[in-house]
Structure 1
């Protein structure tokens, strides 16, 4: 069996999510006779898809994922998506509409969904049959044995009694483009640090995070913490070194939907290195509640008594929990059983017709640019025929036509085939290297008179004079897209029987403008 994981970029190949979720399990897949391949979306090719038995796409919310899913369907390869974070349960917020629309469409053409928490499984169940959703837990690092963890716990328990420095560590991604998390949570729960700092003059705080998170606002938050912090930029090696020396991992969790859907990985990692864990706020790490603190008061009391919750007597509890829920070999075995029993035996799903409207057309990897495109692709900004679209509106002489490239006309409803004519590409479209087909707008209007109003609006938007100003031009384009959306949807249904339309940029192109009244 061969499983191919596809991630957003080459940088993601070294990210913590890929390292923990896929690379850590690779030796255990090998033991089961299963080959896994982890590639970035830029490196996807038809050959790599054909060689796979299963394809799993992670955190690629662009149109690229829809191309790849459609290609998998065409080649008979089972395809799923791995939902890391919850960007999908608040569709009423415009910034998340694109993610919700993407999952709504993707769930109609994939075979299964992976997630790492019960919360994300609940979110995914609103889009696909729950039997086709599998939760594969993030796992304990198998390179650190339980005897090593026991040694860490024993060494660190002596620190308080010996009156040596007590090291507090906050580590992880310190920001998110959509949610106030990370450094913001650390700041919001800083009263815990205030109480801890009063315990001894030997308390040290280290913040290990990504460089992007160290904005002016977050640096101000850090400067206002009740104890001076050492800042360092995250790397895998640094995380290991700091965890080896840390006595307490401080990891507060806010109650917003994004935060409560996260996995237990950070807490599990801290415990593996023998750290005490204080997690104020939402009870994200309930599976490990017997070993960690949720109350600063409880931690302070144990510190004064010199006995901590994670100790030599509770190591066995930690080992039992890991063996039951976070064991690499067990997780791989159960996951492969799911694929073989639930996914591999699935009958071929019915074809789902959809269209992509690109607000910012991007050329696809040439190896994926297969000759017979599987769905209409429209330039949403102009509605014209471009090199990155296979469907548009053009005027030849006095007549306006719908234009179809790369054999898109094969997807037209049968009733329109008799009206098609050939048109050879002009120099601007020479890269298509083939003739394309045209269909008179007038023929469509005569055949379906009730489409007249929609066609008039589309043509008006297509040939409206474009504002040369960059900002005003973007605003005009957004307004046109909003106005013609129902018209375009009706047209696609008339021509292709297509019910699903995905806007690649979903009206988020224009940043908020500051204006003086």
Structure 2
């Protein structure tokens, strides 16, 4: 079983999530006569040539038209196609900011044969949205688990706390999210726990490791309100290992919003494997490890006073058993391999028309999406909303009749069609490309006519309210030229647009 995992960019290789989730099972898959290859989707120029070397493809956080086209091509090649669900950007159906992501999920499921999930919680979310696809949970695995090292460290740190009453606290991880208040906001929001420790007679030094994007002026001002001595540094794998080695306590509070409730156990697992106590209050995200972590600062204070902690010499063996059940890389890779082998084989349709897909560019598409579509035998279609002037295969623009659209087909594309349904006398030029008007008998519905009028005159608001109907009209009109054409929207705008 040859598995290709596509991630959003080469920068993703350096992210903790990719390192933890994929690189840690790659070696273990070899023992199952399998292989895992990581690739940035930005390098997938010739998708058919590259994807044909694999049996399965897993698409991870590629929320653009590249992800959709890669899934489309892989499905045509007969590969097993899956998406990895470990962030919940999809269940908040009343949040208009995620319209484009809900569209992406609704579209990509047409090509998928499975869904991989990082937790049971995200599986429940995904199964409610994608009930027809088989799901499998692959927990984030630990890197190394050395019970002797854990025992030595917790014993040494307990003695040091007893002698000095000085607590070094570690907070590590992604400190922000573009859409949700998490990370450093949670740290500050629950930071009253530090006052409890101080009132109990302990001094506290907080050390923070996080990503550069999180260090905004707003977040730095927020951190300045902490009533505790703290230092902050940019995260790296090496700095994280050193911080956890030196610290007594990992502080991992969790808020209760849907996005946070489905996150994985990886930070808590990493901390426990490093020989450190964990305090995680708020939402009980780490309840499966509840025997070994603190959920309340008063519990921790009581144990500090008697110098007897949740992770100690007598509980390390039980901790090992629990972590082996929840995060063993060999077990997780074996489970994934067995799951993939249970999926029904796909059939390749050798007789399908060459032109099977069209990428329609919305208000904020990109030149990269245009190039990627053309490299992978998809038509590149400019919608009336598109603001890029490129040599598209098809132009869709508002017609002189204010309640309709007009389709112009490039000379090259028209010749491929044998000039069927093409007005060959209507040549016009745009961006050094000749176009002909397509002959279409598609009549807009009353709602589509209203949507066109609103789009032409309503600015951003008109776009948000009407683009879905107009795109439906474009899809029907293109189908008169290319029967059974699969239409994919390329839209990066965060404007809240309605899904039909």
Answer yes or no: same fold by TM over 0.5.
Answer: yes
CA RMSD after TM alignment:
3.5
**Distance in 2 between residues matched to 1:504 and 1:400, nearest whole Å:** 19
Aligned with residue 479 of structure 1, among 462, 469, 485:
462
Do the aligned residues in 2 keep the contact of 1:25 with 1:332 (CA within 8 Å)? Answer: yes
Alignment of 1:85-484 (within 5 A): 85-129=87-131, 132-142=134-144, 144-163=145-164, 165-200=166-201, 202-342=203-343, 344-345=344-345, 356-364=360-368, 366=371, 369-370=374-375, 372-373=377-378, 377-382=381-386, 386-388=390-392, 390-393=394-397, 401-405=406-410, 419-422=421-424, 428-430=430-432, 438-441=437-440, 444=441, 448=443, 451=445, 454=448, 458=452, 476=459, 479-480=462-463, 482-483=465-466
Task: For residue 169 of structure 2, give the secondary structure of its aligned residue in structure 1.
Answer: strand
Do the aligned residues in 2 keep the contact of 1:57 with 1:82 (CA within 8 Å)? Answer: yes
Deviation at 1:264, TM superposition (A): 0.5
Q: Which moved more, 1:131-140 or 1:251-260?
A: 131-140
Task: For residue 345 of structure 2, give the secondary structure of its aligned residue in structure 1.
Answer: coil
Deviation at 1:35, TM superposition (A): 2.2
Residues 287-338 of structure 1: per-residue CA shift (max 9 Å, x gap):
1000001011111000011100111111111111112121000100110000
**Distance in 2 between residues matched to 1:411 and 1:202, nearest whole Å:** 76
Q: TM-score, normalised by structure 2?
A: 0.86
Distance 1:87 1:406, change over 3 A: farther
Q: Who is 2:68 aligned against? A: 66
Distance 1:479 1:400, change over 3 A: closer
Number of residue pairs aligned between Structure 1 and Structure 2:
482
Distance 1:389 1:185, change over 3 A: farther
Deviation at 1:56, TM superposition (A): 1.0
Q: TM-score, normalised by structure 1?
A: 0.83
Do the aligned residues in 2 keep the contact of 1:125 with 1:133 (CA within 8 Å)? Answer: yes
**Distance in 1 between residues matched to 2:116 and 2:232, nearest whole Å:** 35
**Distance in 2 between residues matched to 1:41 and 1:267, nearest whole Å:** 30
Q: Who is 1:76 aligned against? A: 78
**Distance in 2 between residues matched to 1:180 and 1:206, nearest whole Å:** 20
Q: Who is 1:504 aligned against? A: 491
Task: For residue 206 of structure 1, give the secondary structure of its aligned residue in structure 2.
Answer: strand
Q: Who is 1:469 aligned against? A: none
**Distance in 2 between residues matched to 1:372 and 1:499, nearest whole Å:** 12
Do the aligned residues in 2 keep the contact of 1:161 with 1:306 (CA within 8 Å)? Answer: yes
Residues 477-501 of structure 1: per-residue CA shift (max 9 Å, x gap):
5524633542441452355267977
Query: Which 5+ residue runs of structure 2 have no aligned equivalent?
Result: none
